[in-house]
Structures are given as structure tokens and as C-alpha cells.
Structure 1
Amino acid sequence: MTGMRFGVSMRAVGDDFAAKCRRAEELGYDVITVPDHLGAPAPFPALVAAAAATERLRVGPMVLNAPFYNPALLARDIESTVAVTGGRFDLGIGAGHMKSEFDDAGLPWWPAKRRIEYLDHTLTELRRRLGKLPPLLIAGNSEGVLRLAAEHADIVGFSGLKQAPGRPPGTFQLATPDELAGRVEFVRSHATQAQQYNVLVQKVVVAEDPVPVLDKWHPEYRGEDLLRAPQILAGTVERITTELRNREQRFGFDYVTVFGPMMADFAAVIAEFRRPESTRSPA
């Protein structure tokens, strides 16, 4: 995998889902992903539908919660999905982080160490049953998950989120730029192969002055501070494009995913990023 890739995470399906997927393809996106949360679409049927509606886009979960699944049954779902999507499937997986969803599903909420061990076990079992896996994305923030990602993943997913101290599991704060750089360096220092680095962008604001919007977005942060957050892209199209290049250089992010409601606004950034340098607008 070479060059910058752009993905969009679809968190809802409906009568217009196929049309949205086709529009993502028209706008220049490379990947459609869906999350694995209760209340969101079931990943595998949604991804099959996305692939059926498009011609070139890859599809994948962002990301499966490994403890939700029996590895043998998961292997069956993966094998079938690879077949019916014509091989346009990336396997995204992690250790799970939303305790409330495990409680809602009647599943045990294990300590982090055990969830990571189960993720490792799942990967081993998938390889045993499937042989070669689809392109593998492992996402997380803890050293345990990122160590597995460094050792096994084709793509490492960085959400840039960390568990908020003293808050219920699944309550997150934005990692600082230095903290996120530390996570990236941890992966680099343990990597056993060339990898692509994905960042899940939490907010996109395309505006001459994005600060008022950012001020309202999250009460714990000042808009001015969020301008420097690697998980946020805000400003003019030209400024955001420059920031993408800066973050690619600093963090190695060469695969950027935004959420569905941001798809249309961010498309202008994709177009500017891919414009030949001789015709590019000044930042």
C-alpha cells in the first residue's frame, strides 16, 4: 500500500445507503468502513452492501470488537465476505473498549489484559483457519494492543483517544500531540514489517475561522487548542491540506478516515491534496 488513502466511516444504513456509498466513490474516497457498536449497522452485511454499490472502493470494519466473536464463526464470516466483495475487504479488529455495550449484550467485560489476550488468540485462530488474512488493520491505544499491531498488522489504527482517568470505561479524552507521537514511536520501535498508519479524525471543520465551531464541539477543550490536535482537521481547504502533509511527516499518517457527516466537506480537501503541485492553491 503506497500513497495517502482516504476513508469514510458510515455509522448508519437506510434506503440511501447505496447512494451514499456511490457518492463516496465519486468524491474520491478509497475505503468505506463501518464501526462495530450496538446501535450501529451490523458490520458484515453493511460492508457487503457497500461493496455491491461501488466498483473500486475497499470496505472494512473500523473495527471489530474481538471479544464479541467466536473465532471459528468469525473466520466463516470473513471468508464469505472476502469472496462476495471480490477481495475488496480489509479486516479491522481491536480488543473492545465500550463496557456498556458488553453489558447490554450480556457479554462478560474482561480486564484489558484478558481482552488483549483474546485478540491475540483470535488472530492466531483466524490464521489457522484462513491461512493468509485479508489486509489487517489493528487499532487501539494501549501498549498491549499496539504491540500486537506492530507485530501483525498491515495497517495500524490510531484513534488518538485515551481513557479518561476516573471515568467509566469508554469515556475518552483526546491524546495530546506528544502523547500520540509517543504511541506512533512505540509502534515504529516494535514493527516487524512496513505498515500504513491510519488516523480516525474526530472532527472536520472547513471554514475560514473554525474556532467558533470548535468551541461548541466539546466543552472540555478550547477551539484554539483543538486547531493543533492531530485528531482534528479545521480551517480552509488549503490549511487542512497543509496540515495533512505536516502530520504525514511527523506522525506517518498516510491513511485518513473521517465520519460520514463530514464526507462532503472533506471531499474538497481530498481534491486539493491530490491536485498536481504546480496547480495547487497556496496555504
Structure 2
Amino acid sequence: MNEFTFGVSMRDATGWTAKCRRAEELGYDHITAPDHLGTGRLAPFPALTAAAAVTERVRVGTLVSNVPFYNLALFAREVATTNQLTGGRLDLGLGSGHMKHEFDKAGLPWHKAADRISYLADGLGELRTRLADEGGMPRLLIAGNSDGVLRLAAEQADIVGFAGLRQERGRPPGTFVLDNAGAMAERVAYFRSLAGKRAIEYNMLVQRVVITDDRRAAAAEWHADTEERTAASIEELLTAPQLLFGTVDEIVAQLVSRRERYGFSYLTVFEPMMETFAPVVAELRGR
């Protein structure tokens, strides 16, 4: 069983240098950047190069690059350059894209999921070919929830990424609901059935961390904030592996238990939760 490692997903350029140094100081092992369009959204590869320049130990990576955004020849150049400039500390996170409005803003065609996954699959082969003379493919994370993306991860990834979200049927693209504990167990079991004995690290993108003496109240607040759309009950939220409510000791116990059940040993939190989650990082380092 893998030891715990921890990451923080940075989304805001404000105070970038100080935040990256602080993440390393707090014991985080990874600094990641998403790949989205919009005001204030970072271009991931320059941001990661800057993060590596002001830190010594942490790995940097995309969580995740939206492969259908890119011409693969130009994308391969970005990857190779970033890996070189970060001293080989790049983890390349890839996905098939899920936000239609971003494709619209970029003037790119929006294809059905099967076609986006096919582009990702073909792109992996082309990236390996193009990067063969550039130091090779960096450590590879593939994230998603669909059968197609998880199949690719089982075949090719060093790290599989789960966010515990799925598109809500009948709602616009990018409208998500949480997978409950049972749904997450099914997705992990499906992945394991394909991955066999391959040594793969399991990443969970944690959606909320609340340090509290009253877990139920924190879950009820989330339920209210999301108009009760994310889960059928508060009980579902209390056991959902992508939500962490409780005292530091309770959350430590939750993560140990969930590593046993799902395999999640690499936990990523969003930037606003970096300080909140730090005591848990301190408790679980080396375990």
C-alpha cells in the first residue's frame, strides 16, 4: 500500500511565489494547476515552471490538461520544455475535457464524449512518439470517471485521478453531482479489473475540507449550499470519499479507512483549503 502524498491545486496567480513556497513548507508533495479558460485562469505550463523555480522538493503538474484543446505537436513542445525547466519534476495530468462553454470560447468544436476520449487515446500515442527524443513521457496521470478514460488510465497511467463527480443527466455540460461511496467503489472496482497488477497510484481530488467538532452540521451546510442536488441525504455526504468533515483526528481516520477501501493515497485539495488541510498532512506524512 502506498504512503500518503499530498497536493494542492492552485488556481489564482495572486501571490504565486509565496503560495508555492508555503505549500512546500506545509509538507505538500505536489503543486498542480488546472487547465481552464476564463478571466484570471492561469496558463498551466508557465505557472508550473514558475512554481518549480521557487521550490526545491515538490513535484508540479497539470490536474488536468484538456487534451482536445490542443494541437498535439505544439502541446508536446510545451510538455517537453516544462519538464526540462522543472528539472524533471513534471507530472503530466491529462483528461478528455468536459466544459462545453470553454470549447465555445476557444472557437473549438464540441464533440461527443466518445470522440473526445478517442482524441485523448490517439494523442497519448502521438505524445509518446514526439517526446521520445525529448526525454520521454513524464510521469503520467490520467483522470476521469467514464469507462473509456479509466480504460486508458488502466493501460497507460502511472497515476489515476478521481474527482468523484459525474455529469448530471439532462443538465448542461459541466453540471455535476457527487458520486456517493457506493458509486465510487464501483468506479474503483472497474478500474482495478482493467489495471490488473500494474503498480498505479490513486489520486482523489478532494472537493471540501472542514475541520469541525460537528461533522453532521458541516455536511448539512454543504447540502444546503448545493440545493440538496449533490446527494440524496446528509448520510451520503458523510461517507463520500471526496468530502472531509470532522476533527483532524477524525479526518485522519477517514483517510486511512478510505485508502484501505479505495486505494486513495495521493490526496489533492484546492488552494483555499491548503492551510485548513495542513494539520492532516502533518499527521499522515510517512504513513
1:136 is paired with a residue whose SS is: strand
Structure 2 equivalent of residue 187 of structure 1? 191
Query: 2:158 and 2:91 mapped to 1: Cα distance?
Result: 10
Query: 2:108 and 2:265 mapped to 1: Cα distance?
Result: 35
Structure 2 equivalent of residue 37 of structure 1? 36
Q: How many residues align?
A: 275
AA of the residue aligned to 1:215:
A
Sequence identity (%): 59
Query: 1:140, 1:157 within 8 Å by CA — same for their partners in 2?
Result: yes
Query: 1:213, 1:223 within 8 Å by CA — same for their partners in 2?
Result: no
Query: 2:140, 2:157 within 8 Å by CA — same for their partners in 1?
Result: yes
Query: 2:4, 2:285 within 8 Å by CA — same for their partners in 1?
Result: no
Query: 2:181 and 2:149 mapped to 1: Cα distance?
Result: 20
Runs ≥4 residues deviating over 2 A: 210-219, 221-225
Pick from 253, 260, 270: which aligns with 1:249?
260
Structure 2 equivalent of residue 10 of structure 1? 10
How far residue 227 of structure 1 moved from its aligned partner, in angstroms, is 1.4
| Alignment deviations for residues 94-134 of structure 1 (CA, whole Å, 9 cap, x no partner) | 00001111111111100111000000111000001112310
AA of the residue aligned to 2:26:
L
Pick from 272, 279, 283: which aligns with 1:272?
283
| Alignment deviations for residues 57-109 of structure 1 (CA, whole Å, 9 cap, x no partner) | 00001000110011111110011000100001000000000111111111110
Structure 2 equivalent of residue 239 of structure 1? 250
How far residue 2 of structure 1 moved from its aligned partner, in angstroms, is 4.3
AA of the residue aligned to 1:110:
H
Greater relative contact order, per chain length (Cα 8 Å cut-off, separation 6+): 2
Query: 2:11, 2:42 within 8 Å by CA — same for their partners in 1?
Result: yes
RMSD, aligned CA: 1.4
Structure 2 equivalent of residue 170 of structure 1? 174
| Alignment deviations for residues 201-234 of structure 1 (CA, whole Å, 9 cap, x no partner) | 0000011113333323322145443111111011
2:56 is paired with a residue whose SS is: coil
Which consecutive residues of structure 1, in runs of 5 or more, have no partner in the other structure? 277-283
Matches within 5 A, 1:104-253: 104-131=105-132, 132-191=136-195, 193-217=198-222, 218-220=226-228, 221=231, 222-253=233-264
TM-score when scaled to structure 2? Answer: 0.93
Query: 2:212, 2:246 within 8 Å by CA — same for their partners in 1?
Result: yes
